[in-house]
Amino acid sequence: MTKFIKSFGYAFSGIAHAFKSQLNFRFHIAALIVVGIAGWYFQLSTGEWLWIVAAAGIVLLSELFNTAIEVLVDLVSPDIHPKAKIIKDTAAAAVLIAAITAILIGLIIFIPKIAHAA
């Protein structure tokens, strides 16, 4: 049971590292807070919240994986290498696609609510 509990500490340490070292991770957290406040204001339905939570989770997960991949590539290939660049660029592209998907989900949910409120 001790190992299990310690694993949470390691996980939170990883989140803290990403938050401290990655501007994009902090940006995504800030965006999530804004979306959460907007969702509360517009009284999203349970289904809408589920889409927001899923999209946010995918963005944050992809950002954490991207960070891990970047650190690993820097460890195994400290010198500039064309394949290392491809690995890092592809991991960053995954984050971009996740973020664009989240933006589209947000627009689909919030545009009708903003239009209705106007």
Catalytic residue among 44, 48, 62, 63: 63
The DSSP 8-state label assigned to residue 42 in this structure reads T
- 63 is an active site residue: yes
Q: Which residue has the tokens 């990403």?
A: 18
Measuring CA to CA, how many Å separate 46 from each of 31, 33, 109? Answer: 20, 18, 12
Q: Please list the active-site residues.
A: 63
